[in-house]
């Protein structure tokens, strides 16, 4: 039976953030304001802009904390499904 290749990199997930939700609210308010009162459009645009700026800065800060080279020092699940020999 062939062994799966050694993993070449690990997966890092970003931390929790309120920025995507704030961006969605800001865009929604800006769209509603575009068809009703321009003040709402401006307010929504400001909220969306700030949320996008925060989200991009958080992502950049998390990327700079990643190691330049990765080494696997823990057990990693195989990338292929394990199959039974008895067909069941």
**Domain layout of the chain by residue ranges:** 19-64
| CA–centroid distance for 61 within its chain | 13
**Separation of alpha carbons 37 and 29, rounded Å:** 10
What is the model's pLDDT at position 11? Answer: 72
Q: How confident is the model at residue 63 (pLDDT cuts 50, 70, 90)?
A: confident
pLDDT in tens, 12-52: 778 899 999 999 999 999 999 999 999 999 999 999 999 99
Within 13 Å, how many C-alpha atoms sit on residue 38's CB side? 0
């Amino acid at each position: 039976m062939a062994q799966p290749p050694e993993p070449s990199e690990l997966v890092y997930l970003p931390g929790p953030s309120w920025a995507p939700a704030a961006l969605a609210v800001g865009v929604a308010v800006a769209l509603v304001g575009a068809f009703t009162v321009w003040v709402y459009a401006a307010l929504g645009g400001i909220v969306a802009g700030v949320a996008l700026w925060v989200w991009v800065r958080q992502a950049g800060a998390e990327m700079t904390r990643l190691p330049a080279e990765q080494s696997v020092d823990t057990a990693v699940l195989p990338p292929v499904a394990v199959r039974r020999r008895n067909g069941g």
